[in-house]
Amino acid sequence: MNTLLIQHILLDGEPRDILIEGSRFKSIAPRLDTVAAHTIDGSGMAIVPPFYNTHTHAAMTSMRGYADDIELFAWLQNHIWPAEKHITPDDVYHFSRLAILEMIRTGTVFFNDMYWHALATVRAVEEMGVRAAIGRMFIESSPGVVTERNARENAALEALRPTLSGRIQLTFAPHAIYTVSGQTLRTISEEARAKDAFIHIHASETEAEVADCIKAHGMTPVAWLDACGMLTPKTILAHAIHLTTDDIARIRDCRCVIAHMPCSNFKLASGQFRFHEVAEQNGCCVTIGTDGCASNNNLSMLDEMKFAALSAKGEARLPTAAPAKMVFDCATRHGAEAFGIDAGVIAEGKLADALLIDLRYPLMAPCHNLISNLVYSADSSCIDTVICDGRVLMENKAIPSERDIIAAAQDACRSLFERLVR
């Protein structure tokens, strides 16, 4: 289906007609003398790239607000892990749909996921029309032995691969260096290279992880991942907070991608990512993620951009650090590029992923600088329409079956926590 967007304002401030044909932007011009099956009038609206969330655990929407303000280990041990034991594939399907609904509302069209029962997440993504990178997760029961449940799920995911739409790719997602042995990391690295697939791993999130790694292997987590062959331009390092100068150089030279999650880092008091030093002074590729809803507690890349831009200035004691345009690029273009998605900018020939922004909402007025308003002021109320792969997922703030998706997720959640109490 073709869609014609009439007189939407681009980031350069100019209004344009935009024709979407199939999944791509076909033509962008001051005026297009054409008709389309669907037309969206742009008076008072801007068109901007949407967000690409490079690290999350989507189905953890079920745990939004379930266990806050708790020390990290007690949080995992007493709250998160016991709940996760009871989660079924059906639960993951409903919680992933809730997550995707929230992502669409907050302007995100892609997420890089790591969670159990990934087939159910794949199903939710296919149905709801967004993009995702879904992890073959690895957690080991003992060194070199991936848990049985884990191996079974990965085999099922692999079997599904030939049938997936172009919006989904599979990654290798070993959880972390403290849950997966060096031996397994090396095997994963070889498989990933053979399949030309992405690797997605938590890295250098806490001081304890770094100290334990130095004790066990005589090197930092980043050096250890390098020794295991894990650092490639298709490797996403989630968090990467506690980095030495040598780690930063290694990440840059290997052209790895960092997924920066300021909200989660603050909430769990994991430490402050050094955005200015890592991204601005050393040129590492930094993208933005939200982490899961248990440690954020939402999936809004708008919140995440504001935290990234402001906390970088605070951390560096420098008001000029992390300017709005740079953070916006991290959350949009860099995220798409990192995953080889030919999108993230509004341009002819690119995949048609876009947000239509309501400029007549108080948070967007006045509009001295559209990107500044998006990074520092906007919230989901400002997002009118969401387009992914040429398909309109939300229009005029309406998403079909929103109420049903929320009700089903709430039912699944109630039932999960009833089983948990028993």
- Within residues 135-194, the interface with a copy of itself by CB under 8 A covers none
Residue 218: what residue type?
G
- Within residues 318-377, the interface with a copy of itself by CB under 8 A covers 318-324, 360-363, 365-369, 372-373, 376-377
Measure the CA–CA gap between 66 and 112, rounded to whole angstroms: 23
Q: How many CB atoms lie within 10 A of CB 31?
A: 10
DSSP H/E element including 21: strand 15-21
What does the per-residue mask of binding to a copy of itself show for 292-311, with x meaning CB under 8 A? -x--xxx-x-xx--xx-xxx
Of 64 and 136, CB closest to a copy of itself: 64
- Within residues 241-280, the interface with a copy of itself by CB under 8 A covers 263, 265-269, 271-272
Of 26 and 202, CB closest to a copy of itself: 202
- Within residues 25-84, the interface with a copy of itself by CB under 8 A covers 61-66, 68-72, 75
Choice from 379, 396, 401, 418 touching a copy of itself (CB under 8 A): 379
- Within residues 188-227, the interface with a copy of itself by CB under 8 A covers none
What DSSP state is assigned to residue 395?
B
Look at residues 266, 345, 341 and name the one whose alpha carbon lies nearest to residue 303. Answer: 266
Q: For tokens 């791509």, name the residue.
A: 24
CB of 304 to a copy of itself, least distance (A): 11
Look at residues 147, 48, 155, 122 and name the one whose alpha carbon lies nearest to residue 375. Answer: 48
- Within residues 80-109, the interface with a copy of itself by CB under 8 A covers 98, 101-102, 105-106
Q: How many CB atoms lie within 10 A of CB 158?
A: 12
Tokens standing for residue 236 = 């996403």
Of 4 and 413, CB closest to a copy of itself: 413
Of 247 and 304, CB closest to a copy of itself: 304
Measure the CA–CA gap between 344 and 99, rounded to whole angstroms: 21
Of 155 and 365, CB closest to a copy of itself: 365
Measure the CA–CA gap between 228 and 240, rounded to whole angstroms: 17
CB of 251 to a copy of itself, least distance (A): 22
